[in-house]
Amino acid sequence: MAEEYDLVILGGGTGGYVAAIRAAQLGLKTAVVEKEKVGGTCLHKGCIPSKALLRSAEVYQTAIKSEEFGIFTENVNVDFSKVQERKNKVVDQLYRGVQHLMKQGKIHVYEGIGRILGPSIFSPMPGTISVEMNNGSENEMLIPQNIIIATGSRPKSLPGLSIDGDLVLSSDEALQLDSLPKSIIIVGGGVIGIEWASMLNDFGVEVTVLEYADKIIPTEDHEISDEMLRLLKKKGITFHTGAKVFPETLKKDKSVSITAEINGKLEEFEADKLLVSVGRKANLESIGLDNTDIVIENGYIVTNEFFQTKETHMYAIGDCIGGLQLAHVASHEGLTAVEHMAGKKTEKIDYSLISKCIYSSPEAASVGMTEEQAKKDGYELKIGKFPFRAVGKALVYGESDGFVKIISDKRTNDILGVHMIGPHVTDMISEAGLAKVLDATPWEVAKTIHPHPSLSEAIGEAALAVDGLAIHS
């Protein structure tokens, strides 16, 4: 028997379940089809479990360095099974929370694979969804007025470099490691690769990063990239930029080796494990897109500013449409899509106002333009920087590396971008995000009286530094 809905969402990840909750709040009868667990990649294979591991690595380093604070410990070591146990507890608690939210909103969750059907006896338009249930029961037929495709993404690899889950890993398999390797090669120095490099290094693993571009985290401001490289090298991580990896040279036995070309010379690298971190690929296969007029370009679904596809009753959000593949972005795309289909007045998302974070040690965070982007767009700039080494709270923490950088338009004084690297900057970037939303100037940020002692004083001082007025430099 077919069930009718106002909205069916394919994918119960962060974008999908948040969209479902908003739809339920607006009175729409809503269902979510999820092939694994609600919460999706972010909760089960990405944001949350990786940050739980990063936190354990941070605690381990704090214990090792505790003598600097007058605290003496003996026999500090890592029980990685306990680290994984804690990670799983955090994930499970949040998973139960999402399940509760689904029940609270009277949102029906179908555990299985949903496929969009073409025009049929159920509907003259494409859009009826057949759900192949995980429990093996008969397929469920869902007839929605609207659809949101929120199928997310998965790790991709280099052509010819196959993930085997044992010696060659993606982030999915790395999160399930039973024990720490003694050494690892990480192919890719983007955000995910850098977080893993930092974490594993803090756990005591020998880490080598091979990055094809001429710098790590290449989408970040050049000064953030340079400082991250300097600080991670200082911790003992080996980096090779401009490294072209040759997948066909992969050798596997009890360990793994691979060859890369660096500065015109071939060099072989060997380690216990190899982690491939070269981006993510949209999950678009086997969901029935060929039964629709939805347009796909460069592996991603094409939408308008309100996330409608060419089939106007079908929307798409999150990683499957490309752009900023971040959980908080997917959530807000979902909110926008739902409010648009419900006839609510909604504004398009301004992606220049979205903060981006890197949860390595040190952390990095940014919002708005990089210095390079601003110059390319023709802006004449005023830039203020302030180091954490001049901030009392950073010295108290024992984490004084890094800085805050504010980029402003010399003509209008408007803030164009804010970039941070250092202690707890992922918790500080929202102040800069709010400044961008309000189209603030450095003067206005400086007029915000930042409490002393606090790490946020670096923001106020950087704002003053834009006009050469910083107090503590």
Among the listed residues 119, 71, 55, 106, the one whose alpha carbon sits nearest the alpha carbon of residue 293:
119
Alpha carbon separation from 233 to 116, 169, 364, 448 (Å, rounded):
49, 23, 16, 36
Radius of gyration for the alpha carbons in the chain, expressed in angstroms and rounded: 24
CB atoms under 10 Å from CB of 264, counted, come to: 6
Terminal-to-terminal C-alpha distance of the chain? 72
Q: Cα 139 to chain center, whole Å?
A: 34
Mark whether 424 is an active-site residue: no
> Are the CB atoms for 153 and 172 separated by under 8 Å?
no
> Are the CB atoms for 261 and 244 separated by under 8 Å?
yes
Alpha carbon separation from 201 to 186, 233, 275, 294, 402 (Å, rounded):
12, 10, 14, 44, 19
Instruction: Say if residue 181 is preceded by a cis peptide, omega within 30 of 0.
Output: no
Which tokens in the block code for residue 375?
């110059």
CB atoms under 10 Å from CB of 181, counted, come to: 22
Residue 196's SS3 state is helix
Q: Exactly one of 100, 222, 452, 472 is catalytic; which is it?
A: 452
For residue 273, list its beta bridge partners.
184
Write out the catalytic residue numbers: 452
